[in-house]
Structure 1
């Protein structure tokens, strides 16, 4: 229970991490949307500037005095129109990107709300569990302090020494295994444990005890099937064969 109590804050920390990541992504999306908005504003300014240039060059084209001058003006007009087309394409790409980020932002806002609610529920649950654990641990500690003086000092010292490294100093012997480390128990030790002797596990050093009430019951044997019309001699012979192995 002490170990479980120590793990409770990790549930809150995990939920807080998810919420923090969600809010971080929301902040990033806001920054990206703002950047796309500024980019489109710059595109509009550049487009307006190129349109003004194109209009001015067209006016100059009407007053051109020679072919060379007219060709140069047409080149400038073509360049301005090409830039206008490129910038309008860039603006369209930016608008599409903003639409996708708007949707992602809406999803992020929804997720933030759910994570905030979940964090609140986890904090409430952890608070209740922490209180229950602390009350139970206090009760068990009081009971433990009453029981410890009744245990021999050598056995108690061995228990404390093992518990400090293994987490617990005692384990139940079941199915000829230590329930703590799941290693097998030698037949002689197993018989001693079943007779009520308290012994340490030879592998993990936990103090072993045996409780016959917790030993799984053996499966019931199915009755022998009897052939219709079998005689007593046949039944007796079958019994003798089983006993003698003949």
Structure 2
């Protein structure tokens, strides 16, 4: 007899983010944008991300924040402090905010994310979920059992062109059934910002980028 597929409860979505403060966020956008413009773009990207999470059919919405919440934080989102350490340590610690699974962690760098994409994730089977990023990293990482995260994330080199491949390999070699999500492009550079805004023209991020470009041209 074929066993019935596992059924998971609705997921928790964790958003790993920095407070949008000039000089602390999106520093690779400067230049051509000023630190203040980069912070405005970061805040818009975070707002788009949180809006998608709020519209999705998930159980909990948790912002894992480096910094302090501000007026930009919408109602309905829990906030927990981000741990210290390198990115792999911070990702591993973020899953500790979830006492039971499944849980999906995303960043603030993909304002093109939609509730529909999140709702399309098959939470009814599999052990892990992996969303590759165009730069070789990943934009999403999830576990049916979040307690597995520390041993499967710590030690993976982060912010390299090989990060995504190495992280997914770690999941697979641990014997997990990995469900792949669509690839998305992170906003790291000015070229990324232009490409993502063109892909998602109705977002707050696209509007903020258009305003920033107008001001940049005016200064020039």
Normalising by the residue count of structure 2, what TM-score does the alignment of the two structures yield? 0.24
Normalising by the residue count of structure 1, what TM-score does the alignment of the two structures yield? 0.22
Greater helix share, structure number: 1
Higher alpha-carbon Rg = 1
Greater strand share, structure number: 2
